[in-house]
Chain A
């Protein structure tokens, strides 16, 4: 199109998306957004038709989490837009950049209870960083470009742009020429004083522990984090979103922290005299009882979001700014100082606990933890693993050894079941050469299994591994341990035949139920360069250990049902 030609609102949206570097969008059409889909016809922008709008939002999230780029999804008005909401909140909780573009009924119908009208900006007010309903085509470009800037940062998140049909159809007389994406807003750097104070605490410490969170992923601070770990030679741990930041072979890495974290990590934090909390937000699943969390420690908290300081845990020193900038400044400051040796403390911390124990329930069934151990051992090192939510997610988080934090993709903050398969779709589009495996429970898989059709349609080599214990396992575990075994609404013994189900979608499936079958089945599963589903019928009563009881301190982890 000649830029002097009149351009419709729909065409303008596609132009802005191109300018912003978007080459793939996930979506689902409908009445109000039809002009945008009409503009897509024959356009070079790749549109991926998911089988549900929630799948589009999760796929955009998986794309964004695995690439660091903004994920984009489309949906129509009313139910199309409301189906995005869970994916938007999921992205908000884990600071994932998404721009959602929704159709809206014509402006004259807004407020009249028109067909497929929903007050989407009101509904998504707290589900997004920001949203806007565009009332004039002249405001469309500014709103879209602002949406991308805000989605990108400083702390990323979802933004929704709602566009009525008549605005999509309206022509713009003077479209702007193509332009580069506007830079993410420059994040604040921590003050020199704050850096010096943090360094003072480090050189005075005897038992420091570093905790890294998803902020290191967001700010691409993995190299700096590993450099700091190497310089300090101190024990370090990670939140679930921080997994992959530490070098997987670093002997001072203590494993994941928190409710189902490694014992050594939790006890080291409890014994620490200094915590360096780097791009993490002290989630309740990490801290347990806050009044008992790291009681002996001074806290240095580094975060891009000032609202995180003192929200849960008081910080003695705040490093407000981009984490990579903060870590670089801290490393440079420490370079000028003699550092104490933390080798002895590192060995002591490592010895505080063994890796997470297996469930010792006697049974002859396939063990979920054996399956996941075998998967981690057999999968290529740079595999991207996505998960659903529940027991399998925690077992996976305890075992996974991602090469970087964009290789383990999980719904951490919101804990959204149904996330695994559609986020794998997005991750595979963002990383076409890499192996992508969705590890799902039988409950979560059934929430979004319709996206098998998306996998088949686009020939994505996504692998799906189902840990099927015929239960909503995590709820069942809590009912066993904390609700006197009153098992309520957790039975899934009437699950469908998952391999037949995969077959119905044209996807090769295999089912195993015993340990001897595992190596061969896993080998066949991983060798295929096409979609595949491996169904693992596992013991129904296997539990995740350790577990910190609800309301408990991180030092009170249970390692068996009798503990």
Chain B
């Protein structure tokens, strides 16, 4: 699974890694670069479909809360 995400807080990267580990997935690649205070993140993760689905759902929540924190 490859996800492209945008965050205001670069520490979200640590949260992503925690979730990948917790759901028993593995990290294939992670790229982060910053533009105008936004952190553009592209992450590719391997894992079983169920775990990836749960991870995907958590990443959506992560993005929502990041937006709220930056409001």
- Does A129 contact B60, Cβ atoms closer than 8 Å? no
Q: A125-B14, A126-B18, A310-B53 are in contact. Are A185 and B58 (CB under 8 A)?
A: no
User: 26 pairs across A/B with beta carbons < 8 Å?
Assistant: A121-B11, A122-B14, A125-B14, A125-B15, A126-B15, A126-B22, A130-B65, A130-B69, A132-B9, A132-B69, A146-B68, A146-B69, A146-B70, A146-B71, A149-B68, A150-B69, A305-B61, A306-B57, A306-B60, A306-B61, A307-B54, A307-B57, A307-B58, A309-B57, A311-B54, A311-B57
* B interface, over-half SS: helix
* A interface, over-half SS: mixed
Chain A, range 289-328, C-beta contacts under 8 Å to B = 305-307, 309-311
Query: In the complex, what's the smallest C-beta–C-beta distance from A414 to chain B, in angstroms?
Result: 16
- Does B54 contact A150, Cβ atoms closer than 8 Å? no
Count of chain B residues with a beta carbon within 8 Å of a chain A beta carbon: 17
Give Cα A130 to B14, complex, Å: 12
Give Cα A121 to B69, complex, Å: 15
Instruction: Name the A residues within 8 Å of B68 (CB-CB).
Output: 146, 149-150, 185
- Does A129 contact B65, Cβ atoms closer than 8 Å? yes
Query: In the complex, what's the smallest C-beta–C-beta distance from B31 to chain A, in angstroms?
Result: 21
Which residue of A has the minimal Cβ distance to B58? A307
Instruction: Name the A residues within 8 Å of B60 (CB-CB).
Output: 306-307
Which residue of A has the minimal Cβ distance to B17? A125
User: A-side interface residues toward B, CB under 8 Å?
Assistant: 121-122, 125-126, 129-130, 132, 143, 146, 149-150, 185, 305-307, 309-311
Give the A-B contact count at a CB cut-off of 8 A.
38
Chain B, range 11-70, C-beta contacts under 8 Å to A = 11, 14-15, 18, 22, 53-54, 57-58, 60-61, 65, 68-70
Give Cα A305 to B62, complex, Å: 12
Give Cα A150 to B67, complex, Å: 10
Query: In the complex, what's the smallest C-beta–C-beta distance from B9 to chain A, in angstroms?
Result: 8
Which residue of B has the minimal Cβ distance to A185? B68
Give Cα A373 to B40, complex, Å: 58
Instruction: Name the B residues within 8 Å of A185 (CB-CB).
Output: 68
Instruction: Name the B residues within 8 Å of A143 (CB-CB).
Output: 69
Instruction: Name the A residues within 8 Å of B54 (CB-CB).
Output: 307, 311
Which residue of B has the minimal Cβ distance to A132? B69
Which residue of B has the minimal Cβ distance to A311? B54
User: B-side interface residues toward A, CB under 8 Å?
Assistant: 9, 11, 14-15, 18, 22, 53-54, 57-58, 60-61, 65, 68-71
Instruction: Name the A residues within 8 Å of B15 (CB-CB).
Output: 125-126
Instruction: Name the A residues within 8 Å of B53 (CB-CB).
Output: 310
Instruction: Name the B residues within 8 Å of A310 (CB-CB).
Output: 53
Query: In the complex, what's the smallest C-beta–C-beta distance from B46 to chain A, in angstroms?
Result: 20
Query: In the complex, what's the smallest C-beta–C-beta distance from A248 to chain B, in angstroms?
Result: 35
Instruction: Name the B residues within 8 Å of A306 (CB-CB).
Output: 57, 60-61
Query: In the complex, what's the smallest C-beta–C-beta distance from A3 to chain B, in angstroms?
Result: 23
Known contacts A125-B15, A149-B71; can you find 18 more A-B pairs with CB under 8 A?
A122-B14, A125-B11, A125-B14, A125-B18, A129-B65, A132-B9, A143-B69, A146-B69, A146-B70, A146-B71, A185-B68, A306-B57, A306-B60, A306-B61, A307-B60, A309-B57, A311-B54, A311-B57
Instruction: Name the B residues within 8 Å of A125 (CB-CB).
Output: 11, 14-15, 18
Give Cα A227 to B60, complex, Å: 33
Which residue of B has the minimal Cβ distance to A142? B71
Query: In the complex, what's the smallest C-beta–C-beta distance from A293 to chain B, in angstroms?
Result: 16
Instruction: Name the B residues within 8 Å of A121 (CB-CB).
Output: 11
Query: In the complex, what's the smallest C-beta–C-beta distance from A544 to chain B, in angstroms?
Result: 31
Instruction: Name the B residues within 8 Å of A150 (CB-CB).
Output: 65, 68-69
Give Cα A311 to B61, complex, Å: 14
Query: In the complex, what's the smallest C-beta–C-beta distance from A110 to chain B, in angstroms?
Result: 14
Query: In the complex, what's the smallest C-beta–C-beta distance from A456 to chain B, in angstroms?
Result: 40
Give Cα A311 to B65, complex, Å: 20
Instruction: Name the B residues within 8 Å of A305 (CB-CB).
Output: 61
Give Cα A306 to B59, complex, Å: 11
Query: In the complex, what's the smallest C-beta–C-beta distance from A343 to chain B, in angstroms?
Result: 39
Instruction: Name the A residues within 8 Å of B22 (CB-CB).
Output: 126
Give Cα A150 to B57, complex, Å: 17
Which residue of A has the minimal Cβ distance to B71? A146
Query: In the complex, what's the smallest C-beta–C-beta distance from B23 to chain A, in angstroms?
Result: 11
Determine which residue in A126, A149, A307, A310 has the highest number of CB atoms from chain B within 10 A of its CB, and name it: A307
Give Cα A185 to B71, complex, Å: 12
Give Cα A471 to B54, complex, Å: 39
Query: In the complex, what's the smallest C-beta–C-beta distance from A149 to chain B, in angstroms?
Result: 6
Query: In the complex, what's the smallest C-beta–C-beta distance from B7 to chain A, in angstroms?
Result: 12
Determine which residue in B11, B60, B69 has the highest number of CB atoms from chain A within 10 A of its CB, and name it: B69
Instruction: Name the A residues within 8 Å of B57 (CB-CB).
Output: 306-307, 309, 311
Determine which residue in B22, B54, B70 has the highest number of CB atoms from chain A within 10 A of its CB, and name it: B54
Give Cα A305 to B15, complex, Å: 18
Which residue of A has the minimal Cβ distance to B70? A146
Query: In the complex, what's the smallest C-beta–C-beta distance from B63 to chain A, in angstroms?
Result: 12
Which residue of B has the minimal Cβ distance to A147? B69
Which residue of B has the minimal Cβ distance to A131? B11
- Does B69 contact A307, Cβ atoms closer than 8 Å? no
Give Cα A122 to B61, complex, Å: 19
Instruction: Name the A residues within 8 Å of B18 (CB-CB).
Output: 125-126
